[in-house]
Amino acid sequence: MVTPPSPLPPAADAVPLDPLLRVEADARRARRPYRVLGLAEVRRNYREIQMGGSPGAAIAAIEDDAIGDRARTLPVRIYRPMKTPRPPLVIYFHGGGFVIGDLDTHDRNTRGIAAATGATVVSVAYRLAPEHPFPAAPDDAMLAVRGAPEIARRLGADTSRIFVAGDSAGATLALVAAIAARDTNGTRLAGVVAIYPGVSRISSTATASALAFGDGNFGLSNDDIAWFREQYLPDKASHEDWRAAPALVPNLAGLPPTFIVVAAYDALRDEGIAFAERLRDSGVAVELRVAAGMNHGFMGAPKPPAAVNDTLRAIGQWMSDLPR
């Protein structure tokens, strides 16, 4: 059964895939599929692509550190904004299907968030599959959010304005960490930023957007998604765990204000829209932004389209407008 897409703004339907992203999507389509390339080559190719291109926004300082507790610590990279007294703190989780990506590959993303929001951004190096399958990544995300108040105090950030954010797999982790914080009376979060998250039941690719854009002609394919999930979720029982698919959580009430970004040409688009609608129906203050002409991963594109800065400005304005 095909799940119909949510209505999109006319502009999102009308605007073709951005030419910069079309070049990248065509180049990716010309390469062998992830499952044929193998893990080492997928990681190497992704790193080479992401480390090229635009250097990203200018910020005041970057430093490496760690966050955690006595049992375990996680490497983090701290991005300090330009001249912001007592800035907000953003705990950021990078994308990459829980399998690829690192602090370096997502440097543009974290620089952009710091510059646009005036926040101190703490980018977290959570453990990756298949070396560390589920639930290692969500465990690390929860650990990072539990430690956020202490690192905020240490960095001179505003402990009353702690946000959690991420893109793709990292957006999923941000949502998971926010749900866990709600359920355990943990760190009080000011908001969540989830950029093209994957939230649905693991076996489902039956949304209209997955059928329309999952063939590989627009970048991320359904087969790529399946390959990531095979690495991350080798135990079939985990497919029914809400920490792998936040849409399985029966009750979303009580979550902090949430900003969700979806890309018009993304196989994951419709599940992100449906999750935003569920949040709204649950009484959560949610803002949904559909990036017209964009595909999955556009926020970290080596040659960023104009929509990247537009989206960053919208996130910054949203954070600034939230009640304190």
pLDDT digits (tens), the chain, 324 positions: 334 445 554 445 568 999 999 999 999 888 889 999 999 999 999 999 999 988 999 999 999 999 998 889 999 999 999 887 899 999 999 999 999 999 999 999 999 999 999 999 999 999 999 999 999 999 999 999 999 999 999 999 999 999 999 999 999 999 999 999 999 999 999 999 999 999 997 655 678 899 999 999 999 999 999 999 999 999 999 999 999 999 999 999 999 999 999 999 999 999 999 999 999 999 999 999 999 999 999 999 999 999 999 999 999 999 999 998
Contact between residue 95 and residue 74 where contact means Cβ atoms under 8 Å apart: no
Q: In what order do the strands lie in the sheet with 191-195?
A: 61-68, 73-80, 120-124, 89-93, 162-167, 191-195, 258-265, 286-295
Contact between residue 154 and residue 77 where contact means Cβ atoms under 8 Å apart: no
Q: Locate tokens 């990531």: which residue?
A: 228
Sequence-ordered list of residues with C-beta below 8 angstroms from that of 116, at least 6 positions apart, any chain: 57, 309, 312, 313, 315, 316
Distance, CA of 95 to CA of 92 (rounded, Å): 10
Contact between residue 124 and residue 140 where contact means Cβ atoms under 8 Å apart: yes
Please name the amino acid found at residue 241.
Answer: D
| pLDDT at residue 203 in the model | 54
| pLDDT at residue 204 in the model | 57
Distance, CA of 64 to CA of 77 (rounded, Å): 4
| pLDDT at residue 3 in the model | 41
| Strand pairing category for 191-195 and 162-167 | parallel
Q: Report phi then psi at 89, rounded to 5.
A: -115, 135
| pLDDT at residue 84 in the model | 78
Cis peptide bond upstream of 197, omega within 30: no
Active centre residues (catalytic): 168, 266, 296
| pLDDT at residue 205 in the model | 64
Contacts for 63-70 with beta carbons within 8 Å, 24 or more apart? 65/122, 65/151, 67/122, 67/124, 67/143, 67/144, 67/147, 67/148, 67/151, 68/143, 68/144, 68/147, 69/143, 69/146, 69/147
Q: Which residues on neighbouring strands pair with residue 231, listed in sequence order?
A: none
